[in-house]
Amino acid sequence: MIKTFEAVFDKNNRGVYSISLVEDPAMEGDFVALSKQKKIEFKTVDEEQRILLGLVLEPNKPIYRNQDGEEFNIVFSEQTIKELSHNFFKQGYQTNSSLEHSEDITGVSFVESWIVEDSKIDKSANFGFSYPKGSWIATMKVDDDAVWNDYVKTGKIKGFSIDAFLTLKEVKL
């Protein structure tokens, strides 16, 4: 049986210090690109506002990892997600982003973030999403032409993925 670890925010660590734009998000939540006409289209837009909306973290969802041949799952509690989201903005990390966790990018900024309280009436439901209570949703403003044209409009990136320093505690079933 594969081990499961709970990710815990240690206030002596950085927590989430960057959110990457990735093709294959671990949370399996693609984002929506918003256009000026308020017409929602996945991955392609016309007259762009250049705003992306998507899932950052979902509570209790097992995330498969394989590090040096060791397979395991990581899960995040609602409380940890809330602490990570608050710390991300409190520390001023909202302009920290990369492509696929490797190439740092500029000209992007997280401009809005919230924790889902009720999936039926959450703001994200207006865009066709249904994420459980405790999920972290965020919006990113993309001002960089290359990032927008070469990655967002082409569909090369489909969601958000965190870069973080976390403590892992094994969950005993």
- What's the burial of 145, exposed, middle or buried (CB within 10 Å: 0-12/13-18/19+)? exposed
Distances (CA, A) of 42 to 32, 46, 76, 109: 5, 11, 27, 20
pLDDT in tens, 92-110: 999 999 998 889 999 999 9
Task: Output the pLDDT for position 26.
Answer: 65
Q: Please say whether the beta carbons of 59 and 143 come within 8 A.
A: no
Per-residue pLDDT, 31: 44
Q: What is the pTM of this model?
A: 0.85
Mean pLDDT of the chain: 83
- Order of all β-strands in the sheet with 108-115: 40-41, 32-35, 48-57, 136-142, 108-115
Contact by Cβ (8 Å): 87, 65: no
- List the pLDDT tens digit at each of the 173 positions of the chain: 899 999 899 888 888 888 888 887 665 554 444 433 333 223 223 446 888 888 899 999 988 888 888 888 899 999 999 999 999 999 999 999 999 888 999 999 999 999 999 988 898 888 888 899 999 999 899 999 999 999 988 888 888 888 888 888 998 86
Dist CA 57 CA 150 (whole Å): 25
